[in-house]
Amino acid sequence: MGTAFALAPLARGTGVVAVALLAALVALAPTVRARALAMLAALALTPVLLVAEIWESPQLRPLRDRPVLALTLVVGGLLALAALAAVLDRRPALLALLATAAIPFRIPIAAGGTTSNLLVPLYLVVAAGGLAFAARRLRRPAHERAPAADGVLEPLLLGAVVLYALQATYSTDLGRALQNVVFFYVPFALLLALLREVPWTRRLVLGCFGVLVVLALVFVAIGYVEYGSRELLLNPKVINANEFEPYFRVNSLFFDPNIYGRFLMIAMVALAAAMIWATRRRDVLLATAALAVLWGGLVLSFSQSSFGALLVGLAVLAALRWNPRMVLGLAGAGLAIGVAFVIAFPGAVRLDLASSTSVDKATSGRVNLIEGGLQLFGDRPVWGWGAGAFAHEFRAQRKASTERAVSASHTIPVTVAAEQGAIGLLVYLALVIVALVRLLRGARGDVVRAAFAAAFAALVFHTLLYAAFLEDPLAWALLAVGLAWPATVAAAPAERVAVAAAGS
């Protein structure tokens, strides 16, 4: 089986492009029958590419050595998927709740010399939802027209996926590009199509909000236990780092403290939206208590990018709820005070502004990574080095060790510029701008839309200081509901919406 899965580079590149095109057709094909067939083809091809990439990983050795066990698990998994698909076919709204519950859970898999955190539970939900999606459409007339895309955001988003796949074909690290496409981009594009089809109601949004908050509280409780015992459950790198740092970072059930912090930040933005639109004192107190608990968990993650993203999300909420000019003025004043403090007292933050080494250390190596990314962009400014090539080219051109180089620059625009050149950078900027405009439209009169807009703005800011934009299912979920919400839910008075949100 290992030989069978050892695909040649040409076949791998072709497979990446093919599966990206199928994912785009699921949402953009002109007829419902074409969308159903594209979904089935994507569900068939993506696992082949995924298994081919991770087949030699240590985690799959028991299956390689015991083919009967592997076959049994495959058959059992298909039966379970069929059963779940039958349930989702009858209750489409359940998909949203299951996806919300599955989004945080990742399983680390070693492949190609790196470790990828695969969202296996979410993959199962997407696969079952995709089968139900196809079954519903195959029961319709063959030539029934599918609804056209609502605006330019959805075509732009799926176009970015296809562009990434095309640029993988000349990448100097095709393996990394393939992993990003089949592990993240394509499954999340299918998730987008599925969530767009969900019959969204305010009650369903509140149910997803409740699942999100409960999960965040559970993760924080685990983080508190880790901090109290001084023992982490996951990620040897963080465990080793804690041995040499004056502070102790926790990551709960997440592999990365920054991804843990990002999840908590999104939950806190949603809670803050419910709180500031609430009309009952009890609801305000409950939301405040939950926010205090989550804030403690966020502090223990020591994720500075998440702290900054939370401030951005809260500022957007405040601007939507009250006077945006006043909020902008206060934010500007706060930023000026912060910059003045760093300049006047650099020792308080252990920063020597005259030393690039000190600044690089204070930003966890971000300065060096950004400089390397900009150099790569300058060498190939139009088309870049190819999707997923940042780490490979960074090591080659900066003479960096494997430990020093990482999979991205930790500043998404720089990573995009280095890998995809000006072509990819323009698509990325257009995508962010169009998405923010779309989500902010009508947000002042709707607490749900305000929460989604603020959360997405915060997530975009987080990617400027960390990584994982389209590699994060949260971004796709926020965009999917943002696309579906105005088309499926009639506008309601802001006061009634606030009562419903706070009552959750």
Structure-block tokens of residue 497: 């919406």
Give dist(CA 35, CA 24) in Å, integer.
Answer: 9
Asked if residue 140 has pLDDT above 80, the reply is: yes
Query: 65-79, 237-251, 354-368 — which one is most confidently predicted on average?
Result: 65-79
Q: How far apart are CA 238 and CA 439, in angstroms?
A: 36
- Residue 109 is predicted with a pLDDT of 74
Confidence band for 1, pLDDT divided at 50, 70 and 90: very low
Contacts of 57 (CB under 8 A, 6+ apart): 109, 110, 111
Separation CA 106–CA 108 (nearest Å): 6
pLDDT surpasses 80 at 340: no
Task: Specify whether the CB–CB gap between 24 and 161 falls below 8 A.
Answer: yes
Among 94-98, 236-240, 490-494, the least confident range: 490-494
> pTM of the predicted model, to two decimals?
0.88
Q: 206: pLDDT confidence band, cut at 50, 70 and 90?
A: very high
Task: Tell the burial category of 18 from Cβ atoms under 10 Å away from its Cβ (0-12, 13-18, 19+).
Answer: middle
* Local confidence band at 64 (pLDDT 50, 70, 90 cut-offs): confident
Question: CA-CA distance, 106 to 219, in Å (whole number)?
Answer: 13
Both structure tokens of 118: 């695969």
Angstrom distance (rounded) from CA 184 to CA 472: 7
pLDDT value for 232: 86
Task: Name the residue among 86, 89, 100 with its Cα closest to residue 207.
Answer: 100
**Chain centre distance of CA 429:** 17
pLDDT grade, residue 398 (50/70/90)?
low
Contact 388, 180 (CB under 8 A): yes
pLDDT tens for residues 443-469? 888 899 999 999 999 999 999 998 889
Tell me, what's the pLDDT at 335?
Answer: 73
pLDDT in tens, 304-336: 899 999 999 999 999 999 888 877 887 777 777
Average pLDDT over residues 197-215: 93
In this predicted structure, the answer to whether residue 403 has a pLDDT above a threshold of 60 is no
Confidence of residue 345 (pLDDT cuts 50, 70, 90): low
Per-residue model confidence (pLDDT) at position 107: 83
Give the relative orientation of helices 9-28 and 186-197 as an angle to the nearest 10 degrees. Answer: 10
Bridge partner list, 109: 116
Residues 444/323, Cβ–Cβ less than 8 Å: no
Point out the least confidently predicted range of 77-86, 169-178, 370-379, 407-416: 407-416
Residue 495's pLDDT is 38
The pLDDT of residue 98: 97
Please report which confidence band the pLDDT of residue 404 belongs to, taking 50, 70 and 90 as the band edges: very low
What is the pLDDT confidence band of residue 59, given thresholds at 50, 70 and 90? confident
Model confidence over 239-259: pLDDT tens digits? 777 666 777 889 998 988 999
pLDDT at 399: 54
Please report which confidence band the pLDDT of residue 344 belongs to, taking 50, 70 and 90 as the band edges: low
pLDDT band at 407 (very low <50, low <70, confident <90, very high): low
Which carries the bigger pLDDT value, residue 56 or residue 413?
413
CA-wise closest residue to 23 among 125, 148, 155:
155
User: pLDDT per residue over 4-22, tens digit each?
Assistant: 444 566 778 889 999 999 9
What is the torsional sign of CA 275, 281, 287, 293?
positive
Give the mean model confidence (pLDDT) for residues 175-180: 90
Residue of 390, 345, 342 whose CA lies nearest to 363: 342
pLDDT > 70? residue 350 = no
Give the pLDDT confidence of 15-48 residue by residue, as tens digits.
Answer: 999 999 999 999 999 999 999 999 999 999 998 8
Strands (E), 197-315: none
- How far separated are the first and last CA of the chain, in Å rounded? 50
**Whole-number pLDDT of residue 364:** 55
pLDDT band at 490 (very low <50, low <70, confident <90, very high): very low
Q: What is the CA radius of gyration of the chain?
A: 23
pLDDT at 494 over 60: no
